[in-house]
Amino acid sequence: MDTPRASSERQQVSTNLNYALSTLRARLAQDRWTEVDRYIADLFIQSDPVMDATLRSSSEAGLPPIHVSPPQGRFLMLLAMARGARRILEIGTLAGYSTIWLARALPVDGRLVSLEIDREHASIARANIARAGLSGRVTIRVGSALETLPKLLGEGQGPFDFVFIDADKPSYPDYLEWAIKLGRPGTVIVADNVVREGEIIKARSTDPNTQGIRRFNDALATNDRVIAIEIQTVGSKGYDGFAVALVK
């Protein structure tokens, strides 16, 4: 006859096995996503010494590997080109990887303003942007974005045709409001990391990043000044998503 102890042990073994299988499936899926990302990059982007050097400088400086992937960077560039953007605002510079992709979408007389809170990150980004030959199109403003954004409005820096948000997640709802204020009808707003490995479905999550994105998603979905959608993404950066909005 089965004893409570034996039943409990079998249940624990089953739980451990299911966890191990789930972990293995996730690892295999991530490996496949990374391989496909590499295939796409090799096919459509090929050799890009500037971007390679930018990623290398970021790694050597010990910056977190949270930049967009090469296919995602090219996707952002294509969106900005399709919009015909002449003025771009980026919230979150890091080493300037996405900055370079977006600046490449600009005409010669186009301008990109990127906001970065960390002075050392901004210094690394400026060197990468200079190597890319884009210093004439890009200005990096150092400081808290929530302090800099009102200054941009006061200086008449807008309106911007394209806004990319990729910074601290708890501030995303505020960044959305400022993106709309600094935009105009037809401005495209793109925000990264809006799915967070599916954590956004957890309403009771205690993670401030998840809660920040949930507030952003709610604000984006109910704001009558924009029409928007979010898409899930997989790739070398894992499982996440982009929000894309158009100012009415």
Digit-coded pLDDT (tens) for 158-197: 899 999 999 999 999 999 999 999 999 999 999 999 999 9
Is the overall model pTM greater than 0.85, yes or no? yes
List of residues 6+ apart from 61 with CB closer than 8 A: 95, 120, 124
Is the pLDDT higher at 2 or at 248? 248
Backbone angles phi, psi at 209, to 5 degrees: -65, -45
**CA–CA distance, 103 with 105 (Å, rounded to integer):** 5
Query: Is the pLDDT confidence value at 14 over 60?
Result: no
Return the axis-axis angle of helices 172-181 and 145-154, rounded to nearest 10°.
10
Digit-coded pLDDT (tens) for 75-111: 999 999 999 999 999 999 999 999 999 999 999 999 9
Q: What are the beta bridge partners of residue 142?
A: 116
Strand order in the sheet with 162-165: 138-142, 111-116, 87-91, 162-165, 188-192, 238-247, 226-235
Exposed/middle/buried for 170, CB within 10 Å: 0-12, 13-18, 19+?
Answer: middle
List of residues 6+ apart from 73 with CB closer than 8 A: 51, 67, 97, 98, 100, 101
**CA–CA distance, 78 with 71 (Å, rounded to integer):** 10
Q: Where are the beta strands (DSSP E) in the chain?
A: 87-91, 111-116, 138-142, 162-165, 188-192, 226-235, 238-247
C-beta separation of 103 from 81 below 8 A: no
Between 4-8, 66-70, 115-119, 172-176, the lowest mean confidence (pLDDT) is in 4-8
Query: Is the pLDDT confidence value at 26 over 90?
Result: no
**What distance lies between CA 73 and its chain's CA centroid?**
9
**CA–CA distance, 49 with 212 (Å, rounded to integer):** 36
Peptide bond preceding 49 in cis form (omega within 30 of 0): no
Average pLDDT of the chain is 92
Query: Is the pLDDT confidence value at 44 over 80?
Result: yes
